[in-house]
A and B are shown apart, each in its own frame.
Chain A
Amino acid sequence: MKSLIKKFGKINSGVLALCILFLILELIGHRYGETSIEDIIFFPAFFGFLSCIIIFKIGVSLRAFLMKDEDYYDR
């Protein structure tokens, strides 16, 4: 555990611990969503993680099209 915290950092390890805690909470109580798809176990966790990765991937790929030099409009 100590080596994980050392390797991954205190804050990062804390977030990971919270992630695990919120997964356990779902197992303790009964969580339901606004839509039936959300009722799938750990759905928000998967959705949050994947969304962030997708946003990152699309954002980075858009750099090629949308990112120009800083003085682009001044030229």
Chain B
Amino acid sequence: MIDSFPPGMIMVIGALLIPFLPHIVRQIFMMLLVLLSAYPLTLGIGVHTTINFFDLEFILFQSDALTIPFAIIFHIAAVLNIIYGAHVKHWKQHVAIMSYSGAAIAAVHAGDLLTLFVWWEATAFTSVFLILASNTRRSYKSAFRYIVIQVTSGMFLLAGALILLNNEGNALLTKFDINTLYGQLIFIAFGIKAAFPLLNGWLQDSYPEASEIGTVALSTFTTKLAIYCFAKCFAGTEILIAIGAIMTFYPIFFAVIENDLRRVLTYSLNNQLGFMIVAIGIGTELAINGAVAHAFAHILYKGLLFMGMGAVLYRVGTCKASELGGLFKYMPITAVCTIIGAISISAFPLFSGFVAKSLIMSALGKEGLVLVYFMLLFASAGVLHHSGIKIPFFAFFAHDSGIKTKEAPINMIAAMVIASLLCILIGVFPSLFYSILPYQIAYEPYDFSHVVGQLQLLTFAAFAFICLWHFKIYPPELNSTVLNSDWIYRKMIPGVLIPFLSMMSNINIKMSNYIIDTSLKTKTYLANIMTRDRVFDREVGKDGLIILQVFTVFLVFVLVSQFF
């Protein structure tokens, strides 16, 4: 029975018991839930569980070559999240993380759009508590914006699903045509969650406001679920190449000037999603393998970087580059693990980023997309700048901030060490990693040209940074807010809408006053003409009434006489 239970669902149901368990038992129980959730993966490829409801068939558990790598990495990430958050005694965040991870895993195994919609919304409603967990006014406001945007994404998905259901008689999760209405609605839904350009504001707004363990979980599931959905439904859709290229390109500049290091990582996340979107847009077997490999590797190294910054936040209380520096001597293990994450994301040979990114770059080269290729190459240098150097340098080196602290808790270190080892393992044994990708193709990342070219690119980009810093050209980090696309709905729309509504309100008040004033004047006028010696004076009213009655009778008589 347990083997046909949809992966992830048991984690969502089991999360309901977490509040009632003591801390240590809870940690073991959560691990057990992840193991039980992973067990049905042994069934392999196929449709395993369906239910009928309102004459509709819901496919709760289906598995194919694309779902397997996502299922594996989501389960690994769930385990890492449990270990990383083990120092938190209160149950609230554990419930949120467990149900959020479970919902994301269940979503990956959905075989139809309506089932996907349920889990799509479940990921939103469970993950919002991780933002609220920071318990600040900023996080509260940010969580509100987050849930509105996530639910909006779900509404687009539902609309697309219902139109598809009406047109085709089923809402199976399959490849969709972007030129259809339902295809466009579903595309927008996925695009919001994948943080497309101008739809990305929620990512940089909310993730850095979450708790130290919350951001690690958030960075894993939501956006990668969107990547999975794009790979499943829109592989080979050419517009994705352009969108992805823009995504890789512009967040770099924002990341360079951003002061909050966790926010820098969210820009970096956006940039990395761009690589995956480009690969999905290309749609060849090599490119799809590249997108999946990149998503897999990215979950580990980006999670590792967020873990490092989370540990700094937990110990120091801030992640602002302007306030940090010199923490290496207090948090050496955290620093080393963060550096491994930084090296991995920068795609140095022998680390996971290299073996994943090489697939995408080779796919671009094979398709002859030269402009996009160089945009991504430029973005690769940018990744080194903001994630490879800026993150570890400003947190652990740069200058002595005067902060005295101690190493991260043992559970955090354990999670970071495991993630670091996985980053290296993938980099050193790429064939093992490639064997779980959707398509079995022969690819060798470690040839002379790839390795030397990449090493030249990265070391010279690093040398450029060193020169800028050494010769004091690099400006100091400043406490600031960097405007992003969320400015549109946080400042611009209120900036236009509030004065407009205020103007309408003023018009309304003036109109009301005018009507009241006119009514009063009329009333006064009528009262005046009814006073003594006026036409309707009550004293002369009796005579006036008689005259009126006679006049009325006369009028009726004249009218009647006209007909006869």
Chain A residues near B382 (CB-CB < 8 A): 51, 55
Q: How far is the CB of B379 from chain A (nearest CB, A)?
A: 9
Q: How many residues of A contact B (CB 8 A)?
A: 50
- B452 near A66: Cβ-Cβ < 8 Å: no
Q: How far is the CB of A3 from chain B (nearest CB, A)?
A: 15
**Given A45-B460, A70-B479, A35 and B370 touching (CB < 8 A)?**
yes
- A19 near B385: Cβ-Cβ < 8 Å: no
Bound Cα distance A66, B384 (Å): 22
Bound Cα distance A32, B481 (Å): 43
- A60 near B257: Cβ-Cβ < 8 Å: yes
Question: Does any Cβ of A come within 8 Å of B336's Cβ?
Answer: no
Bound Cα distance A46, B384 (Å): 15
- B457 near A44: Cβ-Cβ < 8 Å: yes
- A51 near B452: Cβ-Cβ < 8 Å: no
Which of B253, B361, B362, B374 neighbours the largest number of chain A CB atoms within 10 Å of its CB? B253
Within 8 A of A (CB), among B465-500: 465-466, 468, 470, 473-475, 478-483, 490-491
What residue in chain B is nearest A34 (Cβ atoms)?
B365
Chain B residues near A62 (CB-CB < 8 A): 253-254, 257
Question: Does any Cβ of A come within 8 Å of B453's Cβ?
Answer: yes
Q: How far is the CB of A38 from chain B (nearest CB, A)?
A: 7
Q: How many residues of B contact A (CB 8 A)?
A: 50
Chain A residues near B56 (CB-CB < 8 A): none
Q: How far is the CB of A24 from chain B (nearest CB, A)?
A: 10
Chain A residues near B481 (CB-CB < 8 A): 67-73
**Given A31-B453, A51-B381, A15 and B459 touching (CB < 8 A)?**
yes
**Given A42-B456, A55-B252, A72-B481, A33 and B381 touching (CB < 8 A)?**
no
Q: How far is the CB of B475 from chain A (nearest CB, A)?
A: 6
Chain A residues near B474 (CB-CB < 8 A): 56
Chain B residues near A37 (CB-CB < 8 A): 370, 374
Q: How far is the CB of A21 from chain B (nearest CB, A)?
A: 9
Within 8 A of A (CB), among B373-387: 373-374, 377-378, 381-382, 384-385
Chain B residues near A32 (CB-CB < 8 A): 449
Bound Cα distance A30, B454 (Å): 14
- B452 near A15: Cβ-Cβ < 8 Å: no
What residue in chain B is nearest A61 (Cβ atoms)?
B253
- A16 near B463: Cβ-Cβ < 8 Å: yes
Chain A residues near B364 (CB-CB < 8 A): 34
Bound Cα distance A72, B474 (Å): 24
Within 8 A of B (CB), among A21-67: 22-23, 25-26, 29-35, 37-38, 42-56, 58-60, 62-63, 65-67
Q: How far is the CB of A23 from chain B (nearest CB, A)?
A: 7
What residue in chain A is nearest B470 (Cβ atoms)?
A12
Q: Which of B366, B378, B449, B473 contacts A51 (CB 8 A)?
A: B378
Q: Which of B366, B377, B452, B478 contacts A22 (CB 8 A)?
A: B452
What residue in chain A is nearest B322 (Cβ atoms)?
A70
Question: Does any Cβ of A come within 8 Å of B165's Cβ?
Answer: no
Chain B residues near A31 (CB-CB < 8 A): 448-449, 452-453
**Given A15-B462, A70-B481, A30 and B254 touching (CB < 8 A)?**
no
Q: Which of A34, A50, A59, A70 contacts B373 (CB 8 A)?
A: A34
Bound Cα distance A35, B371 (Å): 10
Q: Which of A8, A45, A54, A67 contacts B456 (CB 8 A)?
A: A45
Q: Which of A25, A52, A60, A70 contacts B464 (CB 8 A)?
A: A52
Bound Cα distance A19, B254 (Å): 28
Chain B residues near A30 (CB-CB < 8 A): 448-449
Bound Cα distance A52, B386 (Å): 10
- B452 near A47: Cβ-Cβ < 8 Å: no
- B461 near A51: Cβ-Cβ < 8 Å: yes
- B377 near A47: Cβ-Cβ < 8 Å: yes
Q: How far is the CB of A60 from chain B (nearest CB, A)?
A: 6
- B377 near A60: Cβ-Cβ < 8 Å: no
Chain B residues near A45 (CB-CB < 8 A): 456-457, 459-460
Bound Cα distance A62, B483 (Å): 10
Q: Which of B448, B465, B475 contacts A52 (CB 8 A)?
A: B465
Chain B residues near A46 (CB-CB < 8 A): 460
Chain A residues near B459 (CB-CB < 8 A): 15, 18-19, 22, 45, 48
Give me 22 A-to-B residue pairs in the complex whose CB atoms sit less than 8 angstroms apart, sorted by A's number. Answer: A8-B470, A15-B462, A15-B463, A15-B466, A18-B455, A22-B459, A25-B452, A25-B455, A34-B365, A34-B373, A49-B460, A52-B460, A52-B462, A55-B256, A55-B382, A56-B473, A58-B253, A66-B254, A67-B482, A68-B482, A68-B483, A72-B481
Tell me the B residues contacting A by CB distance below 8 Å.
138, 252-254, 256-257, 361-362, 364-366, 370, 373-374, 377-378, 381-382, 384-385, 448-449, 452-466, 468, 470, 473-475, 478-483, 490-491
Closest 6 CB pairs of A and B: A34-B365, A59-B256, A52-B464, A51-B381, A48-B457, A48-B460
